[in-house]
Amino acid sequence: MNIAIIGLGLMGGSLALSLKRLDFVTSVVGSDHNKQHQKDALELNLVDKIVDFNETKNYDVVFLAIPVNGIIAALQNLKGVDENTTIIDLGSTKEIIISSVPLELRKNFVAAHPMTGTENYGPYAAIEGLYDDKVVVLCNLEDSGEHQAKVAKKIFKSLNMKKYFMKAKEHDRHAAFISHMPHAISYSLANTVMKQEQKDNILALAAGGFRSMSRLAKSSPFMWEDVFKQNKSNILEAIELFEHELSRLKQSIANDDWEKVHKKMADGNKLHEIFD
């Protein structure tokens, strides 16, 4: 199996490292519009070689590891691939991407969202094993070709990923609460602190709690701007519900209602019972 990856940042670069260890993968090539990313990917041995975007049409599998708007544009330019070619996107939103797939490519296309990543980006952020034991959500798989669905399942299983299946609309709402809203909060938290505190105070006083909550604010603005645009209505709903919850906690603190404050915190503790 010969595989092309479009986008050689964290997700694409890490994927390349993992794919290269699979015995049924013959070659892994990369394509990226960023010349520095091309150079870095070769120096880091992420891919076997760099190819032009149009050359990726000749490969058995094409992964789209680029921002959401880039995925939509790339799909328009992948028309004419062989009927057995499998195109897999790794975008964080799914409904708009799926609705943008050209009809002639729908059987070729598999919509996937690996629930993994870090706050870093670019080829140097690539990590071997990033996908191991993580969840991948496959959306509207019944609309993909039988061959393409089989190929995608085989690859993700070989990467030791846990497969979940759902509709794109359902996925996007869940992702807004679990992934997209936390990024919005992290960016806002970082900006709030930087507007109030001097650099030296932040360095001296910022402990684990602040570092953990602000970590996502390091994420690529280019990628997350696209996500916020494409999943706007779901993210706004999630933020509004969060604001309501925070407002209730704020009011309890203002009223010295420490019993309610304690209950809010105790209720929040229950989230980690799910993980533990």
What is the percentage of the chain residues whose pLDDT exceeds 90? 78
Q: What is the mean pLDDT of the chain?
A: 92
Give the pLDDT mean for 8-36.
95
Instruction: Look up the CATH architecture of domain 171-275.
Output: Orthogonal Bundle (1.10)
Average pLDDT, integer, range 93-98: 94
What are the residues facing 176 on neighbouring strands? none
List pLDDT tens digits, range 43-70: 999 999 999 999 999 999 999 999 888 9
The per-residue pLDDT for 17 is 95
Q: Does residue 17 or residue 218 have the better pLDDT? A: 17
In the chain, residues under CATH classification 1.10.3660.10 are 171-275
Half-sphere exposure of 77 (CA within 13 A, CB side): 14
- For the chain, how long is the longest CA-to-CA vector? 67
Q: What span, in angstroms and rounded, lies between the C-alpha atoms of 60 and 77?
A: 16
What pLDDT score was predicted for residue 276? Answer: 66
Residues of each domain in the chain carrying CATH 3.40.50.720: 2-166
Read off φ and ψ for residue 171, nearest 5 degrees. -55, -45
Residue 218 has pLDDT above 90, yes or no: no
pLDDT, one tens digit per residue, over 103-154 is 999 999 999 999 987 778 899 999 999 999 999 999 999 999 999 999 999 9
Give the pLDDT mean for 157-179: 95
**Using alpha carbons only, what angle is made at residue 228 by residues 227 and 229, rounded to the nearest 5 degrees?**
90
197 pLDDT above the threshold of 70 = yes
Other C-beta atoms lying within 10 Å of the C-beta of residue 60: 16
What integer pLDDT is reported at residue 77 of this predicted model? Answer: 94
2-166 CATH choice from 3.40.50.10320, 3.40.50.720, 3.30.70.260, 3.40.47.10: 3.40.50.720
Q: Give the 3-state secondary structure of 42-87.
A: HHCCCCCEECCHHHHHHCCEEEECCCHHHHHHHHHCCCCCCCCCEE
The mean pLDDT value for 83-97 works out to 95
